[in-house]
Structure 1
Amino acid sequence: MKTLSLIALPIALVACTNSEDAQATDAASEERAALADISPVDRMPFEKTEIAVFDEPWAMTFLPDGRMLVTEKAGKLLLVDNSGSKTEIANVPDVAYGGQGGFGDVILAPDFASSGTIYLSWAEAGDDNTRGAVVGMAKLDLGSENLALEDLKVIWTQTPKVTGRGHYSHRMVFSPDGKYLFIGSGERQKFDPSQDMASNMGKIVRLYPDGSIPEDNPFVDQEGALPDIWSLGHRNILGIAYDSEGRLWNTEMGPRDGDELNLVQRGSNYGYPIVSEGVHYDGKDIPNHDTRPEFDAPDVAWVPTIAPAGLVFYSGDLFPAWKGSAFIGGLASEAIIRVSFDGEEAREAERFSMGARIRELEQGPNGAMWVLEDGEGGRLLRLTPPE
C-alpha cells in the first residue's frame, strides 16, 4: 500500500487518508521532528570538486574505464576523463534543439564491454513544425584515433510527433538482467495523450534492446493500444532507475507542484491529467489521487515543487549511510533530494541546497557522487566525504 507524502522544504508532511486520526497526526509530527534534525542548513556531508564546465549538459554515464560520456543539449556528445579533459565524438545525430528539446540521455548497452554499443535519445524534427523524441543505438570504438559513432540506428519513436518543444522526457534504463530497455516518454504538454492508448506519449515503454516489442508487454493484445506501452498516466518523466531490489522507479514533474516519485508497475495508470497532487498553471484545480482510487498514487508527491530531474540509487561504500537511498536532482529547487525507503514506502530524508539547478546525478566507480548542473556553464561536480 502506498504512502502519499506531501513535501514542503525542509519538513515532510504526511497526508492522512479518510481514516485520519490522532495516531496519524502524531506520526506526522514525529517525522517532522526527525527531518528537522537533518535540515540541510545544519550540515553538508560532502565536499564539492569542480571537474569540468559544459554548455547545457543533460546526461552522463560512466564507461568501464572510469571515463564518462556527457551529452550537451544543442547536439554534442563528449568523452570526459577524471581531470575534466573533453573530446568531442563525431557522427552524432541532428537534433531539434530548442525549448526543452535537443540531445537527451546516453546509456551503455549491458554488453558494452564486448559490443561497444551505446543508446542515445534526442528530439527529432518532423513535418509541419512537429517534433518528437527518438532513441537510437550505435557503436562507439574507444580504441579509435578519431572517436565517432558508427552504425547509428533509430529503434524507437515517440508517436505521434506534435508541435511544441516541451516534455520529451526520453530518459532510459535497462532492467538489471539486461533483457529490457525502458524509456520515459513525456506527454509533450498535450495532456490527453497520457490516457490515449493509441499514443506512446505520457507513458513508460518497454522494449527489447534491439527495439522490438516483448510479447508479454501488458497491452500487446489490447485493440487500439500501442504494444510498447508498459505504464501510462505520466506527465514529464525526467528520472528513471532501478533500486537494489529490482524495482523500477521514476520521477516526473507535476503541473504546478505535485511532482512525483512513483514505483512503476506493469500496466499501471498513474492518472495524469485526470488526477494530480498539483494544479494547472492557470490555477484551475485538478482532483487529487485520493478522489480516484483506480489510479496509482505517487509514493511521494512534492508540494511545493522540487522540479525533479535525474534519479539514481546509491549503492557505494564511500557514503555508507546513503546505501539504498535514492537521489533526485532538483531544478527549480536547486537542490539534491535524498529519499529513504522502508520496503516500498518512501519519504524525503534530506535536502542539500546546491545553489544551482541540478540536471543529472550518477554514482561513480569508487562510490563518489557525480552531479551535472543545468544550463549554460553547467558544472560537473564530484561529491566526496569531507576530510
Structure 2
Amino acid sequence: MKNSMKALFLFVVMTNLSCGQKTDNEINTPIETTFTAELLVDGLEIPWGMVFLPDGSLLITEKSGDIIRFKDGQKTTISNGPEVYYRGQGGLLDIELHPDYENTGWIYFSYSSEEGEDKGGNTAIMRAKLNDNSLVNKEILYKASPNTTKGQHFGSRLEFDNAGYLYFSIGERGERDINPQDITRDCGKIYRIHDDGRIPNDNPFVNDPNAKPAIFTYGNRNPQGMVKHPESGAIWIHEHGPQGGDEINIVEKGANYGWPVITYGINYSGTPITDLTEMEGMEQPIHYWVPSIAPSGMTFVTSDKYPGWKGNLLVGSLVFQYLERLELSGNEVTYREKLMEDIGRVRNVRQGPDGLIYVAVEGKGIYKLVPTE
C-alpha cells in the first residue's frame, strides 16, 4: 500500500481501569508501552473475522458477505463464498484455519444462513478450500434451527483446541427464556464437533436422545470472543451481557453459564432481569464488566514484541471504541488498560504469525500495532 494511504496513530498507554469483577485488584504502576497503529488494510466496513494464510496473505470476512484477501498491499474479493442471511447482527461472521491447514487446506466459516424450512435465518458452520481466489469443496457442517427473522444474537466465533476439536458459539437469537437453558434446542450454547462435522462420542449430552448432541456448554447469551489459552489449552470465551454483565468464561464440558437465570446485568430499560447473580450448578465468570463494553474479538499475547504484555488478554470494545488489555494472575483479572482510545468500534483482534497484533475496526479497516523504541 502506498504510504499516502496509511494512517498512523502513536499511542502511549498508561490508563488504569477498575476491574469490575468479583475482586477489585489493580496494579498501581502501569507499564508504559508505546506503539504505532498503522492502517494496513483500509476501506473495510465491518471486518468481522480475519486469519493469516501461510503465504503471508490475510483473509478477512466482511459482515455483508464478502471475503477479502489482502496480500502485498492489494485486496482481492474471494468468489463463491457462503450464501449469507444479512440481517441485524447476522451476516458473514468468523473465519478459522484447520490446525493442519498446510496439509488439509480446510478453512472454516460461521455465518447466518437461510437454509431450512422456516423463514429467517440462524447460524451455520461451513468448511471449504481455497482454489486461486475462489472457494471450492464447500461443506455445511452444522446449521442451527429453527430459523427466525429476529436480527440479534447469532454469535459466533470459531476455535480449535489442542486435540483438533472445533468449538463454535451460537447466541440465543433473542429467545432468552426459551433457548439457553434447554439442551433440546439450539442457540445460547457452545458446540464441539470434529473437523469434518462428526459429533464426538464424549460430548456431554451425546447419550441424551432429546438433546442436541453437538452442545458442549449451555446457558450462554451471545459469545463473540473465543480463544485457546496458550499454556493450558483451555477454550476461553467472552460474551455480551445485557446492560452490564459482559463476561469472560472458561469453557468446561457440560457447564451451565446461567443465562438468564443468573446475571450481573439488567434490561436495557433499566428493569431487573433477575435478582440472582449466582446459583448452585451454574458457573461464575472469571471476570465481568459493569458497565458493559460490548466485547468482540479476543486474543492472548504470546510474543515478546510488546514489553510486559506477554500472557495478557486483548479484547475489543464496540461501545466504548477501544482495545482493552487485561493482565492475569492465573485465571483472575488483576489489571485493565485502555489501548487505542476512540479509534472506533473494535470488532476483532488477533496476533499474527510475525508476533504483531492486528486490530479490526469498523468503518476503517485492519490496523497493525508496531512497537516503537
Normalised by the size of structure 1, how large is the TM-score?
0.87
Query: Of 338, 356, 377, which aligns to 2:344?
Result: 356
The one-letter amino acid of 2:348's match is E
Partners of 2:118 and 2:146 within 8 A in 1:
no
Task: Tell me the equivalent position of 1:210.
Answer: 196
Range moving further from structure 2, 64-73 or 232-241: 64-73
Looking at structure 1, the residues matched to 95 and 273 of structure 2 have their Cα atoms a distance apart, in angstroms, of 34
2:235 corresponds to 1:248: yes
Aligned partner of 2:171 in structure 1 is: 186
Q: Does structure 1 conserve the Cα–Cα contact (< 8 Å) formed by 2:21 and 2:288? A: no
2:21–2:289 contact (8 Å) kept in structure 1: no
- Confirm whether residue 114 of structure 1 aligns to residue 116 of structure 2: no
Is 1:323 matched with 2:330? no
User: Would the alpha carbon gap of residues 340 and 138 (structure 1) be closer, same or farther in structure 2, given more than 3 Å must change?
Assistant: same
Cα distance in 1 for residues equivalent to 2:102 and 2:189: 30
1:12 aligns with 2:19: yes
1:182 maps to a residue whose letter is Y
- Aligned to 2:55, which of 40, 57, 65? 65
Task: Indicate if the aligned counterparts of 1:206 and 1:230 stay in contact, CA closer than 8 A.
Answer: yes
Deviation at 1:161, TM superposition (A): 1.7
Tell me the distance in 1 between the aligned counterparts of 2:22 and 2:99.
40
Q: Determine helix, strand or coil for the equivalent of 1:231.
A: strand
Are residues 1:369 and 2:354 paired? no
Could you tell me whether the CA contact under 8 Å between 2:356 and 2:370 is conserved in 1?
Answer: yes
Instruction: Please say if residues 343 and 361 of structure 2, whose CA atoms lie closer than 8 Å, have aligned partners that are also in contact.
Output: no
Structure 1 partner of 2:45: 55
- Matched to 1:57, the amino acid is P
Partner Cα distance (2:276, 2:102) in 1: 44
Is the Cα–Cα contact under 8 Å of residues 289 and 295 in structure 1 kept in the other structure?
no
Determine if contact 1:136/1:153 at 8 Å carries over to the other structure.
Answer: yes
Cα offset, 1:44, TM superposition: 5.4
CA distance in 2, matches of 1:49, 1:291: 43
AA matched with 1:121 = S
Going from structure 1 to structure 2, the CA distance change for 1:10 and 1:345 (only over 3 Å counts) comes to closer
Q: Output the amino acid matched with 2:193.
A: L
Give the counterpart letter for 2:212 in structure 1.
L
CA RMSD of the aligned region, Å?
Answer: 1.9
Letter in 1 for 2:30: I
The change in CA–CA distance for 1:291 and 1:92 in structure 2 (over 3 A counts) is closer
- Provide the residue aligned with 2:13 in structure 1: none
Q: Comparing 96-105 with 210-219, which one deviates more in the overlay?
A: 96-105
How far apart, in 2, do the equivalents of 1:370 and 1:85 lie? 17
For structure 1, which runs of at least 5 residues remain unmatched after alignment?
A: 1-8, 17-27
Q: Residue 288 of structure 1: CA displacement?
A: 5.8
TM-score calculated relative to the size of structure 2: 0.90
Matches within 5 A, 1:49-198: 49-53=38-42, 54-81=44-71, 83-125=72-114, 126-141=116-131, 144=132, 147-177=133-163, 179-191=164-176, 192-198=178-184
Instruction: Provide the rounded CA distance (Å) in 2 between the counterparts of 1:350 and 1:165.
Output: 32
| Bigger fraction of residues in helix | 1
Q: Go from structure 1 to structure 2 and tell me whether the alpha carbon gap of 1:355 and 1:44 turns closer, same or farther (over 3 Å shift).
A: farther
Seen in structure 2, the aligned counterparts of structure 1 residues 336 and 112 have a Cα distance that, compared at 3 Å, is same
Q: Is the 8 A contact 1:200 1:228 kept in 2?
A: no
Paired AA for residue 237 in structure 2? N
1:346 alignment partner, SS class:
strand
Cα offset for 1:66?
2.2
Instruction: Kindly state the Cα deviation for residue 12 of structure 1 after the two structures are TM-superposed.
Output: 2.1
CA distance in 1, matches of 2:276, 2:307: 35
CA contact (8 A) 1:217 1:229 kept: yes
Aligned ranges 1:285-296 → 2 under 5 Å = 285-287=272-274, 290-296=277-283
SS at match of 1:340: strand
Residues 232 and 268, structure 1, Cα contact 8 Å, conserved in 2: yes
For the structure 1 residues 13 and 124, does the alpha-carbon distance in structure 2 shift closer, same or farther, using more than 3 Å as the test? closer
- The amino acid that maps onto 1:91 is N
Contact 2:33–2:307 (Cα < 8 Å) also in 1: no
Query: Could you tell me which amino acid in structure 2 is paired with residue 102 of structure 1?
Result: G
Q: Which amino acid aligns with 1:296?
A: E
Please give the residue correspondences for 1:16-27 in structure 2 after superposition, counting only pairs within 5 Å: none
Percent identity for Structure 1 against Structure 2: 35
Q: Answer whether contact 2:39 2:365 (CA < 8 A) is retained.
A: yes
